[in-house]
Structure 1
Amino acid sequence: MKRVTILLATSLLSLAACDQPQAGDPVIRTDISGEKGKEVAMKADEAPPPSPSPTPTPSETAQPEDSACQPVRFEDVVFTHCVADPAEHRVRMVLGSPTFRSLAKFSASRPDNAPRVAFAMNAGMYDGEGKPIGYYVEERERLQELNRNDGSGNFHLKPNGVFYGTGGTWRIKTTEDFYSTVGDRPDFGTQSGPMLVIDGVIHPKISEDGPSKRIRNGVGVDADGKAHFAITARPVSFGQFARFFRDVAKTPNALYLDGTVSSLWDPARGRMDTRADLGPLVVVEFKD
Protein backbone atom coordinates (compact mmCIF):
# COMPACT_ATOMS: atom_id res chain seq x y z
CA MET A 1 0.00 0.00 0.00
CA LYS A 2 2.84 2.34 0.88
CA ARG A 3 4.50 1.67 -2.49
CA VAL A 4 1.24 2.46 -4.35
CA THR A 5 0.89 5.74 -2.43
CA ILE A 6 4.45 6.77 -3.30
CA LEU A 7 3.92 5.96 -6.99
CA LEU A 8 0.67 7.93 -7.05
CA ALA A 9 2.30 10.96 -5.41
CA THR A 10 5.16 10.82 -7.92
CA SER A 11 2.69 10.69 -10.80
CA LEU A 12 0.76 13.70 -9.52
CA LEU A 13 3.95 15.71 -9.07
CA SER A 14 4.99 15.00 -12.65
CA LEU A 15 1.64 16.30 -13.91
CA ALA A 16 1.89 19.51 -11.89
CA ALA A 17 5.35 20.13 -13.27
CA CYS A 18 4.46 19.75 -16.97
CA ASP A 19 4.46 23.51 -17.59
CA GLN A 20 7.64 24.31 -15.69
CA PRO A 21 10.46 25.95 -17.72
CA GLN A 22 13.75 24.19 -18.21
CA ALA A 23 16.97 25.37 -16.58
CA GLY A 24 18.98 27.86 -18.61
CA ASP A 25 18.91 31.52 -19.52
CA PRO A 26 16.23 33.87 -18.15
CA VAL A 27 13.02 33.93 -20.16
CA ILE A 28 9.97 36.14 -20.42
CA ARG A 29 6.65 34.42 -19.87
CA THR A 30 3.05 35.57 -19.63
CA ASP A 31 1.44 35.10 -16.24
CA ILE A 32 -2.11 33.92 -17.02
CA SER A 33 -2.86 32.39 -13.64
CA GLY A 34 -5.82 34.58 -12.80
CA GLU A 35 -5.11 38.23 -13.62
CA LYS A 36 -5.06 40.21 -16.84
CA GLY A 37 -1.90 38.53 -18.09
CA LYS A 38 1.15 40.62 -17.33
CA GLU A 39 4.52 40.11 -18.96
CA VAL A 40 6.86 39.20 -16.12
CA ALA A 41 10.55 38.36 -16.06
CA MET A 42 11.24 34.90 -14.70
CA LYS A 43 14.48 32.96 -14.63
CA ALA A 44 14.22 29.71 -16.53
CA ASP A 45 15.03 27.66 -13.46
CA GLU A 46 12.16 29.23 -11.49
CA ALA A 47 8.91 27.28 -11.47
CA PRO A 48 5.54 29.01 -11.97
CA PRO A 49 2.94 28.67 -9.19
CA PRO A 50 1.87 25.01 -9.01
CA SER A 51 -1.53 23.93 -10.23
CA PRO A 52 -3.99 23.34 -7.40
CA SER A 53 -4.51 19.84 -6.04
CA PRO A 54 -8.27 19.49 -5.80
CA THR A 55 -9.86 17.25 -3.22
CA PRO A 56 -9.88 13.80 -4.83
CA THR A 57 -13.19 13.08 -6.53
CA PRO A 58 -14.85 9.85 -5.36
CA SER A 59 -14.97 6.87 -7.67
CA GLU A 60 -16.02 7.65 -11.22
CA THR A 61 -18.91 5.24 -10.71
CA ALA A 62 -20.19 6.93 -7.54
CA GLN A 63 -23.46 8.75 -8.13
CA PRO A 64 -24.63 10.73 -5.08
CA GLU A 65 -28.36 11.14 -5.47
CA ASP A 66 -28.48 14.93 -5.25
CA SER A 67 -25.13 15.76 -6.85
CA ALA A 68 -25.29 18.02 -9.89
CA CYS A 69 -21.67 17.10 -10.66
CA GLN A 70 -20.43 13.89 -12.26
CA PRO A 71 -16.98 12.73 -13.36
CA VAL A 72 -16.66 12.25 -17.12
CA ARG A 73 -13.61 10.81 -18.85
CA PHE A 74 -12.78 12.61 -22.10
CA GLU A 75 -9.62 12.12 -24.15
CA ASP A 76 -8.07 10.26 -21.20
CA VAL A 77 -8.68 13.08 -18.71
CA VAL A 78 -11.35 13.15 -16.01
CA PHE A 79 -13.53 16.27 -16.15
CA THR A 80 -15.94 17.06 -13.35
CA HIS A 81 -19.09 18.07 -15.21
CA CYS A 82 -21.71 20.03 -13.25
CA VAL A 83 -25.09 20.87 -14.76
CA ALA A 84 -27.37 23.67 -13.57
CA ASP A 85 -30.99 23.15 -14.63
CA PRO A 86 -33.32 26.20 -14.56
CA ALA A 87 -36.14 23.92 -13.39
CA GLU A 88 -34.19 22.96 -10.25
CA HIS A 89 -31.53 25.60 -9.65
CA ARG A 90 -30.85 29.31 -9.43
CA VAL A 91 -27.52 30.92 -10.34
CA ARG A 92 -25.92 33.88 -8.64
CA MET A 93 -22.56 35.61 -8.43
CA VAL A 94 -20.76 36.21 -5.12
CA LEU A 95 -17.74 38.38 -4.38
CA GLY A 96 -17.90 39.38 -0.70
CA SER A 97 -16.81 42.59 1.00
CA PRO A 98 -13.96 42.19 1.58
CA THR A 99 -13.69 39.55 -1.12
CA PHE A 100 -13.98 36.00 0.16
CA ARG A 101 -10.97 34.81 -1.87
CA SER A 102 -11.87 31.16 -1.13
CA LEU A 103 -14.79 28.77 -1.36
CA ALA A 104 -14.26 27.79 2.28
CA LYS A 105 -14.70 31.38 3.50
CA PHE A 106 -17.81 31.77 1.40
CA SER A 107 -19.21 28.52 2.79
CA ALA A 108 -18.49 29.62 6.38
CA SER A 109 -20.30 32.93 5.78
CA ARG A 110 -23.64 31.33 4.88
CA PRO A 111 -26.45 31.45 7.47
CA ASP A 112 -28.09 28.20 8.57
CA ASN A 113 -31.29 29.01 6.67
CA ALA A 114 -29.54 29.75 3.35
CA PRO A 115 -30.65 27.76 0.28
CA ARG A 116 -28.77 24.51 -0.27
CA VAL A 117 -25.76 24.80 -2.54
CA ALA A 118 -25.64 22.38 -5.45
CA PHE A 119 -22.08 23.51 -6.33
CA ALA A 120 -19.91 26.60 -6.54
CA MET A 121 -16.88 27.53 -8.62
CA ASN A 122 -14.54 30.44 -9.29
CA ALA A 123 -15.93 32.46 -12.18
CA GLY A 124 -13.90 35.09 -14.00
CA MET A 125 -10.57 36.86 -13.94
CA TYR A 126 -9.62 39.46 -11.39
CA ASP A 127 -6.99 41.84 -10.07
CA GLY A 128 -4.60 41.46 -7.14
CA GLU A 129 -7.37 42.22 -4.64
CA GLY A 130 -9.69 39.60 -6.08
CA LYS A 131 -11.95 42.13 -7.79
CA PRO A 132 -13.24 41.39 -11.30
CA ILE A 133 -11.47 43.05 -14.22
CA GLY A 134 -14.51 42.72 -16.48
CA TYR A 135 -18.28 43.07 -16.38
CA TYR A 136 -19.69 41.88 -13.09
CA VAL A 137 -23.26 41.95 -11.77
CA GLU A 138 -24.34 40.56 -8.41
CA GLU A 139 -27.99 40.60 -7.31
CA ARG A 140 -28.73 43.08 -10.15
CA GLU A 141 -26.04 45.47 -8.89
CA ARG A 142 -23.31 46.22 -11.42
CA LEU A 143 -19.98 46.34 -9.63
CA GLN A 144 -17.80 46.49 -12.77
CA GLU A 145 -18.55 47.79 -16.26
CA LEU A 146 -18.05 45.85 -19.48
CA ASN A 147 -14.36 45.71 -20.43
CA ARG A 148 -13.82 46.11 -24.20
CA ASN A 149 -10.15 47.06 -23.95
CA ASP A 150 -7.33 45.32 -25.78
CA GLY A 151 -4.45 43.82 -23.87
CA SER A 152 -2.40 40.69 -23.19
CA GLY A 153 -3.37 37.46 -21.48
CA ASN A 154 -6.32 35.12 -21.76
CA PHE A 155 -8.95 37.69 -20.85
CA HIS A 156 -8.03 39.80 -23.89
CA LEU A 157 -7.83 36.93 -26.37
CA LYS A 158 -10.73 38.26 -28.43
CA PRO A 159 -13.47 37.39 -28.64
CA ASN A 160 -13.99 37.10 -24.93
CA GLY A 161 -17.48 36.92 -23.48
CA VAL A 162 -20.10 37.25 -20.76
CA PHE A 163 -22.07 34.60 -18.86
CA TYR A 164 -25.25 36.19 -17.57
CA GLY A 165 -28.87 35.57 -16.76
CA THR A 166 -32.15 36.68 -15.27
CA GLY A 167 -34.39 34.23 -13.45
CA GLY A 168 -34.10 30.87 -15.17
CA THR A 169 -32.84 32.25 -18.50
CA TRP A 170 -29.06 31.97 -18.78
CA ARG A 171 -26.91 32.87 -21.77
CA ILE A 172 -23.34 33.31 -23.00
CA LYS A 173 -22.51 35.95 -25.59
CA THR A 174 -19.32 37.40 -26.97
CA THR A 175 -18.50 40.75 -25.40
CA GLU A 176 -19.31 42.68 -28.57
CA ASP A 177 -22.60 40.83 -29.04
CA PHE A 178 -23.49 41.51 -25.41
CA TYR A 179 -22.62 45.20 -25.85
CA SER A 180 -24.78 45.49 -28.98
CA THR A 181 -27.84 43.50 -27.92
CA VAL A 182 -28.27 43.48 -24.12
CA GLY A 183 -29.93 46.62 -22.75
CA ASP A 184 -31.46 45.46 -19.49
CA ARG A 185 -29.23 44.67 -16.54
CA PRO A 186 -29.35 40.94 -15.72
CA ASP A 187 -29.67 39.38 -12.28
CA PHE A 188 -26.08 38.14 -12.54
CA GLY A 189 -23.19 38.45 -14.95
CA THR A 190 -19.48 37.79 -15.23
CA GLN A 191 -17.08 38.58 -18.06
CA SER A 192 -14.09 36.39 -18.82
CA GLY A 193 -12.11 35.14 -21.76
CA PRO A 194 -11.48 33.77 -24.15
CA MET A 195 -14.66 32.30 -25.53
CA LEU A 196 -14.11 28.57 -26.01
CA VAL A 197 -16.96 27.80 -28.40
CA ILE A 198 -18.84 30.37 -30.50
CA ASP A 199 -22.01 29.26 -32.31
CA GLY A 200 -20.79 25.67 -32.31
CA VAL A 201 -17.26 26.49 -33.56
CA ILE A 202 -14.12 26.49 -31.42
CA HIS A 203 -12.49 29.93 -30.97
CA PRO A 204 -10.39 30.58 -34.11
CA LYS A 205 -7.24 31.37 -32.11
CA ILE A 206 -7.33 28.18 -30.04
CA SER A 207 -5.05 25.52 -31.50
CA GLU A 208 -5.90 21.82 -31.40
CA ASP A 209 -3.46 21.14 -28.57
CA GLY A 210 -1.22 24.06 -27.63
CA PRO A 211 1.75 23.85 -25.26
CA SER A 212 0.06 25.67 -22.36
CA LYS A 213 -1.54 23.15 -20.04
CA ARG A 214 -3.40 24.09 -16.88
CA ILE A 215 -6.14 22.78 -14.65
CA ARG A 216 -9.01 24.78 -16.14
CA ASN A 217 -12.67 25.59 -15.53
CA GLY A 218 -15.38 27.06 -17.73
CA VAL A 219 -19.08 27.25 -18.49
CA GLY A 220 -21.34 26.65 -21.48
CA VAL A 221 -25.08 26.91 -22.09
CA ASP A 222 -26.84 24.25 -24.15
CA ALA A 223 -29.81 24.52 -26.51
CA ASP A 224 -32.23 23.71 -23.67
CA GLY A 225 -30.93 26.57 -21.52
CA LYS A 226 -29.00 24.43 -19.03
CA ALA A 227 -25.62 25.72 -17.85
CA HIS A 228 -22.76 23.23 -18.01
CA PHE A 229 -19.73 23.86 -15.80
CA ALA A 230 -16.53 21.84 -16.05
CA ILE A 231 -13.24 21.60 -14.19
CA THR A 232 -10.38 19.28 -15.13
CA ALA A 233 -8.63 16.84 -12.82
CA ARG A 234 -5.24 17.55 -14.37
CA PRO A 235 -3.69 20.14 -16.70
CA VAL A 236 -5.12 20.24 -20.24
CA SER A 237 -4.67 22.42 -23.31
CA PHE A 238 -7.18 25.04 -24.38
CA GLY A 239 -8.02 22.88 -27.40
CA GLN A 240 -8.94 19.82 -25.36
CA PHE A 241 -10.93 21.94 -22.93
CA ALA A 242 -12.90 23.59 -25.76
CA ARG A 243 -13.61 20.22 -27.37
CA PHE A 244 -15.19 18.99 -24.14
CA PHE A 245 -17.79 21.75 -24.31
CA ARG A 246 -18.40 21.25 -28.01
CA ASP A 247 -18.46 17.43 -28.09
CA VAL A 248 -19.53 16.31 -24.59
CA ALA A 249 -21.50 19.15 -22.99
CA LYS A 250 -22.79 20.07 -26.47
CA THR A 251 -22.96 23.77 -25.70
CA PRO A 252 -23.02 26.03 -28.79
CA ASN A 253 -21.42 28.79 -26.72
CA ALA A 254 -18.89 28.27 -23.93
CA LEU A 255 -16.66 30.61 -21.94
CA TYR A 256 -13.33 30.05 -20.24
CA LEU A 257 -13.48 31.07 -16.59
CA ASP A 258 -9.89 30.58 -15.41
CA GLY A 259 -6.93 28.25 -15.04
CA THR A 260 -4.43 27.16 -12.37
CA VAL A 261 -6.63 28.64 -9.61
CA SER A 262 -9.67 26.66 -10.80
CA SER A 263 -11.66 25.39 -7.81
CA LEU A 264 -14.91 23.58 -7.06
CA TRP A 265 -17.18 23.09 -4.05
CA ASP A 266 -19.46 20.09 -4.47
CA PRO A 267 -21.22 19.49 -1.11
CA ALA A 268 -22.90 16.25 -2.21
CA ARG A 269 -19.54 14.63 -2.93
CA GLY A 270 -17.74 16.24 -0.03
CA ARG A 271 -15.36 18.16 -2.27
CA MET A 272 -14.05 21.56 -1.19
CA ASP A 273 -11.00 22.80 -3.11
CA THR A 274 -8.81 24.91 -0.87
CA ARG A 275 -7.31 27.67 -3.03
CA ALA A 276 -7.28 30.93 -1.05
CA ASP A 277 -6.58 33.44 -3.82
CA LEU A 278 -9.81 33.42 -5.82
CA GLY A 279 -11.93 36.25 -7.17
CA PRO A 280 -15.60 36.17 -8.21
CA LEU A 281 -17.55 33.01 -7.42
CA VAL A 282 -20.56 31.53 -9.19
CA VAL A 283 -22.98 29.71 -6.88
CA VAL A 284 -25.67 27.29 -8.01
CA GLU A 285 -28.38 26.75 -5.40
CA PHE A 286 -31.35 24.40 -5.21
CA LYS A 287 -34.68 26.18 -5.53
CA ASP A 288 -36.11 24.11 -2.70
Structure 2
Amino acid sequence: MISGPTGSCETVRFDGTRYTVCGFDPTTHDIRLFHRDDNGTGFADFAALETFLDSEGLQLSFAMNAGMYHADRDPVGLYVEQGIERSPVNQNEGPGNFHLLPNGVFYLVGSAAGILETQAYLTSGIEPDFATQSGPMLIIDGELHPRFLQDGTSRKIRNGVGIAADGRTIVFALSEDRVNFYDFARLFRDRFGAKNALYLDGSISRLYIRDLERSDPGRAMGPIVGVVATKPAP
Protein backbone atom coordinates (compact mmCIF):
# COMPACT_ATOMS: atom_id res chain seq x y z
CA MET A 1 0.00 0.00 0.00
CA ILE A 2 1.13 3.56 -0.77
CA SER A 3 0.15 6.11 1.88
CA GLY A 4 1.00 9.76 2.23
CA PRO A 5 -0.14 13.27 1.39
CA THR A 6 -1.58 12.04 -1.91
CA GLY A 7 -3.95 9.64 -0.14
CA SER A 8 -3.64 5.88 -0.15
CA CYS A 9 -3.76 3.17 -2.80
CA GLU A 10 -3.70 -0.56 -2.23
CA THR A 11 -4.30 -3.85 -3.94
CA VAL A 12 -7.41 -5.53 -2.56
CA ARG A 13 -8.51 -9.10 -3.17
CA PHE A 14 -12.25 -9.48 -2.72
CA ASP A 15 -14.05 -12.76 -3.46
CA GLY A 16 -11.11 -13.90 -5.56
CA THR A 17 -10.89 -10.78 -7.74
CA ARG A 18 -8.00 -8.30 -7.57
CA TYR A 19 -8.70 -4.57 -7.44
CA THR A 20 -6.60 -1.44 -7.15
CA VAL A 21 -8.37 0.86 -4.71
CA CYS A 22 -7.47 4.47 -3.87
CA GLY A 23 -9.09 6.58 -1.17
CA PHE A 24 -9.04 10.36 -0.81
CA ASP A 25 -10.52 12.78 1.71
CA PRO A 26 -11.83 15.87 -0.12
CA THR A 27 -11.18 18.01 2.95
CA THR A 28 -7.44 17.44 2.52
CA HIS A 29 -7.05 16.56 -1.17
CA ASP A 30 -7.61 18.72 -4.24
CA ILE A 31 -9.92 16.59 -6.41
CA ARG A 32 -11.05 17.91 -9.79
CA LEU A 33 -12.56 16.86 -13.08
CA PHE A 34 -10.82 17.56 -16.38
CA HIS A 35 -11.94 17.32 -19.99
CA ARG A 36 -10.44 20.01 -22.24
CA ASP A 37 -7.61 22.50 -21.89
CA ASP A 38 -7.94 26.30 -22.17
CA ASN A 39 -7.88 26.02 -25.97
CA GLY A 40 -10.70 23.51 -26.05
CA THR A 41 -8.47 20.54 -26.83
CA GLY A 42 -9.45 17.33 -25.08
CA PHE A 43 -6.78 15.88 -22.82
CA ALA A 44 -7.55 12.31 -23.95
CA ASP A 45 -4.69 10.80 -21.92
CA PHE A 46 -2.80 11.22 -18.67
CA ALA A 47 0.36 12.58 -20.30
CA ALA A 48 -1.46 15.56 -21.80
CA LEU A 49 -3.10 16.31 -18.46
CA GLU A 50 0.28 16.09 -16.73
CA THR A 51 1.75 18.60 -19.17
CA PHE A 52 -1.14 21.02 -18.70
CA LEU A 53 -0.95 20.87 -14.91
CA ASP A 54 2.81 21.35 -14.98
CA SER A 55 2.28 24.64 -16.82
CA GLU A 56 -0.06 25.66 -13.98
CA GLY A 57 2.53 24.85 -11.29
CA LEU A 58 0.70 21.69 -10.30
CA GLN A 59 1.35 17.98 -10.50
CA LEU A 60 -0.96 15.04 -10.95
CA SER A 61 -1.02 12.57 -8.06
CA PHE A 62 -3.86 10.27 -9.15
CA ALA A 63 -6.22 10.05 -12.11
CA MET A 64 -8.91 7.81 -13.57
CA ASN A 65 -11.33 7.96 -16.48
CA ALA A 66 -14.51 9.54 -15.13
CA GLY A 67 -17.62 8.87 -17.15
CA MET A 68 -18.91 7.76 -20.51
CA TYR A 69 -18.46 9.79 -23.66
CA HIS A 70 -19.39 10.03 -27.33
CA ALA A 71 -17.10 9.37 -30.29
CA ASP A 72 -15.89 12.99 -30.10
CA ARG A 73 -15.08 12.35 -26.40
CA ASP A 74 -17.76 14.77 -25.18
CA PRO A 75 -19.64 13.53 -22.08
CA VAL A 76 -22.81 11.51 -22.60
CA GLY A 77 -24.45 13.15 -19.59
CA LEU A 78 -23.98 15.92 -17.05
CA TYR A 79 -20.52 17.39 -16.82
CA VAL A 80 -19.64 20.35 -14.59
CA GLU A 81 -16.15 21.81 -14.28
CA GLN A 82 -15.17 24.74 -12.05
CA GLY A 83 -18.88 25.40 -11.44
CA ILE A 84 -19.69 25.68 -15.16
CA GLU A 85 -22.06 23.16 -16.74
CA ARG A 86 -20.39 21.95 -19.91
CA SER A 87 -22.92 19.21 -20.68
CA PRO A 88 -26.52 18.87 -19.39
CA VAL A 89 -28.12 16.01 -17.49
CA ASN A 90 -29.14 13.16 -19.76
CA GLN A 91 -32.50 11.61 -18.81
CA ASN A 92 -33.05 9.78 -22.09
CA GLU A 93 -33.72 6.09 -22.38
CA GLY A 94 -31.46 4.09 -24.63
CA PRO A 95 -29.11 1.14 -24.97
CA GLY A 96 -25.85 0.54 -23.15
CA ASN A 97 -24.65 0.77 -19.57
CA PHE A 98 -25.27 4.50 -19.20
CA HIS A 99 -28.99 3.91 -19.74
CA LEU A 100 -29.23 0.91 -17.42
CA LEU A 101 -31.41 2.98 -15.12
CA PRO A 102 -31.04 4.29 -12.57
CA ASN A 103 -27.79 6.02 -13.44
CA GLY A 104 -26.26 8.70 -11.26
CA VAL A 105 -24.01 11.67 -10.61
CA PHE A 106 -20.70 11.93 -8.76
CA TYR A 107 -20.20 15.51 -7.55
CA LEU A 108 -17.88 17.71 -5.53
CA VAL A 109 -19.02 20.79 -3.63
CA GLY A 110 -16.28 22.62 -1.77
CA SER A 111 -14.62 20.08 0.50
CA ALA A 112 -17.42 17.50 0.26
CA ALA A 113 -18.27 14.82 -2.26
CA GLY A 114 -21.36 12.76 -2.96
CA ILE A 115 -23.07 10.34 -5.29
CA LEU A 116 -26.77 10.44 -6.03
CA GLU A 117 -29.14 8.66 -8.38
CA THR A 118 -29.88 11.12 -11.21
CA GLN A 119 -33.45 11.99 -10.25
CA ALA A 120 -32.45 12.49 -6.62
CA TYR A 121 -29.63 14.74 -7.80
CA LEU A 122 -32.03 16.85 -9.85
CA THR A 123 -34.34 17.42 -6.90
CA SER A 124 -31.51 18.09 -4.45
CA GLY A 125 -30.75 21.62 -5.60
CA ILE A 126 -27.03 20.90 -5.40
CA GLU A 127 -24.82 23.40 -7.24
CA PRO A 128 -21.57 21.49 -7.71
CA ASP A 129 -18.08 22.70 -8.40
CA PHE A 130 -17.50 19.49 -10.34
CA ALA A 131 -19.88 16.75 -11.46
CA THR A 132 -19.99 13.84 -13.88
CA GLN A 133 -22.96 11.66 -14.78
CA SER A 134 -22.46 8.00 -15.57
CA GLY A 135 -24.27 4.74 -15.25
CA PRO A 136 -25.46 2.49 -13.99
CA MET A 137 -25.51 3.19 -10.29
CA LEU A 138 -23.78 0.33 -8.50
CA ILE A 139 -25.16 0.92 -5.00
CA ILE A 140 -28.31 2.93 -4.23
CA ASP A 141 -28.97 3.72 -0.57
CA GLY A 142 -27.12 0.58 0.48
CA GLU A 143 -28.75 -1.75 -2.06
CA LEU A 144 -27.28 -3.23 -5.22
CA HIS A 145 -28.74 -2.03 -8.52
CA PRO A 146 -31.93 -4.10 -8.96
CA ARG A 147 -30.96 -5.36 -12.42
CA PHE A 148 -27.61 -6.88 -11.44
CA LEU A 149 -27.49 -10.68 -11.56
CA GLN A 150 -25.25 -12.69 -9.26
CA ASP A 151 -24.43 -15.05 -12.13
CA GLY A 152 -24.15 -12.30 -14.76
CA THR A 153 -21.94 -13.44 -17.63
CA SER A 154 -20.71 -10.02 -18.77
CA ARG A 155 -17.26 -9.85 -17.22
CA LYS A 156 -14.98 -6.88 -17.97
CA ILE A 157 -12.27 -4.73 -16.46
CA ARG A 158 -14.37 -2.08 -14.70
CA ASN A 159 -13.87 1.10 -12.68
CA GLY A 160 -16.12 3.08 -10.40
CA VAL A 161 -16.40 5.43 -7.45
CA GLY A 162 -18.12 5.23 -4.09
CA ILE A 163 -18.33 7.08 -0.80
CA ALA A 164 -16.97 4.96 2.07
CA ALA A 165 -18.80 4.15 5.29
CA ASP A 166 -17.40 7.24 7.00
CA GLY A 167 -19.49 9.36 4.61
CA ARG A 168 -16.46 11.36 3.57
CA THR A 169 -13.73 9.29 1.92
CA ILE A 170 -13.99 8.93 -1.85
CA VAL A 171 -13.13 5.39 -2.92
CA PHE A 172 -11.99 4.85 -6.51
CA ALA A 173 -11.63 1.24 -7.65
CA LEU A 174 -10.45 -0.51 -10.79
CA SER A 175 -10.67 -4.27 -11.24
CA GLU A 176 -7.41 -5.89 -12.29
CA ASP A 177 -9.37 -9.01 -13.29
CA ARG A 178 -12.58 -9.23 -15.29
CA VAL A 179 -15.65 -8.94 -13.09
CA ASN A 180 -19.43 -8.72 -13.49
CA PHE A 181 -21.57 -5.83 -12.23
CA TYR A 182 -22.91 -7.76 -9.23
CA ASP A 183 -19.49 -8.58 -7.79
CA PHE A 184 -18.07 -5.16 -8.61
CA ALA A 185 -20.94 -3.47 -6.76
CA ARG A 186 -20.44 -5.76 -3.76
CA LEU A 187 -16.84 -4.57 -3.46
CA PHE A 188 -18.09 -1.07 -2.67
CA ARG A 189 -20.89 -2.14 -0.35
CA ASP A 190 -19.42 -5.10 1.48
CA ARG A 191 -15.73 -4.15 1.58
CA PHE A 192 -15.99 -0.37 2.03
CA GLY A 193 -19.49 0.11 3.41
CA ALA A 194 -20.57 2.44 0.62
CA LYS A 195 -24.21 3.53 0.65
CA ASN A 196 -23.92 4.89 -2.88
CA ALA A 197 -21.50 4.00 -5.67
CA LEU A 198 -21.38 4.75 -9.38
CA TYR A 199 -20.01 2.83 -12.36
CA LEU A 200 -17.65 4.92 -14.46
CA ASP A 201 -16.82 2.60 -17.37
CA GLY A 202 -15.49 -0.75 -18.50
CA SER A 203 -12.84 -2.00 -20.90
CA ILE A 204 -11.30 1.48 -21.34
CA SER A 205 -10.75 1.73 -17.57
CA ARG A 206 -7.38 3.29 -16.77
CA LEU A 207 -5.40 4.47 -13.74
CA TYR A 208 -2.63 6.94 -13.04
CA ILE A 209 -0.85 6.71 -9.67
CA ARG A 210 2.22 8.91 -9.40
CA ASP A 211 3.68 7.23 -6.32
CA LEU A 212 3.54 3.85 -8.04
CA GLU A 213 4.84 5.20 -11.35
CA ARG A 214 1.71 3.80 -12.94
CA SER A 215 0.17 5.38 -16.05
CA ASP A 216 -2.05 2.95 -17.93
CA PRO A 217 -2.05 3.22 -21.73
CA GLY A 218 -5.20 2.78 -23.78
CA ARG A 219 -7.82 4.45 -25.92
CA ALA A 220 -8.39 8.21 -25.77
CA MET A 221 -10.53 9.21 -22.79
CA GLY A 222 -13.29 11.75 -22.23
CA PRO A 223 -13.70 13.17 -18.70
CA ILE A 224 -10.91 12.46 -16.21
CA VAL A 225 -11.00 12.73 -12.43
CA GLY A 226 -7.70 13.73 -10.87
CA VAL A 227 -6.07 14.57 -7.57
CA VAL A 228 -3.62 17.45 -7.90
CA ALA A 229 -1.01 18.97 -5.65
CA THR A 230 1.31 21.96 -5.80
CA LYS A 231 4.48 21.09 -7.67
CA PRO A 232 7.46 20.88 -5.31
CA ALA A 233 10.09 23.58 -5.62
CA PRO A 234 13.13 22.47 -7.68
Amino acid at match of 2:99: H
Structural RMSD (CA): 1.7
Distance 1:149 1:76 in 2: 36
Aligned to 2:77: 134
* TM-fit CA distance, 1:167: 1.1
Q: TM-score, normalising length from structure 1? A: 0.75
Distance 2:56 2:91 in 1: 39
Q: Is 1:185 equivalent to 2:185 in the alignment? A: no
Amino acid at match of 1:104: A
Aligned to 1:207: 149
User: Are the aligned partners of 2:102 and 2:137 in contact in 1 as well (CA < 8 Å)?
Assistant: yes
User: Are the aligned partners of 1:64 and 1:269 in contact in 2 as well (CA < 8 Å)?
Assistant: no
User: Are the aligned partners of 1:161 and 1:255 in contact in 2 as well (CA < 8 Å)?
Assistant: yes
Aligned to 1:86: 26
Please point out which of 118, 121, 143 is paired with 2:64: 121
User: Are the aligned partners of 2:53 and 2:59 in contact in 1 as well (CA < 8 Å)?
Assistant: no
Aligned to 1:271: 214
| Number of aligned residue pairs | 226
Aligned to 1:172: 115
Aligned to 1:216: 158
Distance 2:56 2:86 in 1: 26
Distance 2:11 2:186 in 1: 16
User: Are the aligned partners of 1:162 and 1:192 in contact in 2 as well (CA < 8 Å)?
Assistant: yes
User: Are the aligned partners of 1:90 and 1:287 in contact in 2 as well (CA < 8 Å)?
Assistant: no
User: Are the aligned partners of 1:104 and 1:274 in contact in 2 as well (CA < 8 Å)?
Assistant: no
Aligned to 1:71: 11
**Structure 2 vs 1, CA of residues 113 and 287 (structure 1 numbering), >3 Å: closer, same or farther?**
closer
Please point out which of 101, 107, 116 is paired with 2:44: 101
Q: TM-score, normalising length from structure 2? A: 0.91
* TM-fit CA distance, 1:185: 2.4
- Please give the secondary structure, in 1, of the residue aligned with 2:185: helix
* TM-fit CA distance, 1:109: 2.3
User: Are the aligned partners of 1:170 and 1:227 in contact in 2 as well (CA < 8 Å)?
Assistant: yes
Aligned to 1:4: none
- Please give the secondary structure, in 2, of the residue aligned with 1:127: coil
Deviation string, structure 1 residues 173-232 (Cα, Å, up to 9, x no partner): 0001011112x4210000000000001110000111311111000000124311100001
* TM-fit CA distance, 1:251: 0.9
Q: Which runs of 5+ in 1 are unaligned?
A: 1-61
Amino acid at match of 2:29: H
- Please give the secondary structure, in 1, of the residue aligned with 2:182: helix
- Please give the secondary structure, in 1, of the residue aligned with 2:139: strand
Distance 1:270 1:111 in 2: 17
Q: Is 1:157 equivalent to 2:100 in the alignment? A: yes
Amino acid at match of 2:63: A
Distance 1:188 1:63 in 2: 26
Distance 2:210 2:147 in 1: 36
Aligned to 1:50: none
- Percentage identity across paired residues of the two chains: 40
Distance 2:91 2:139 in 1: 19
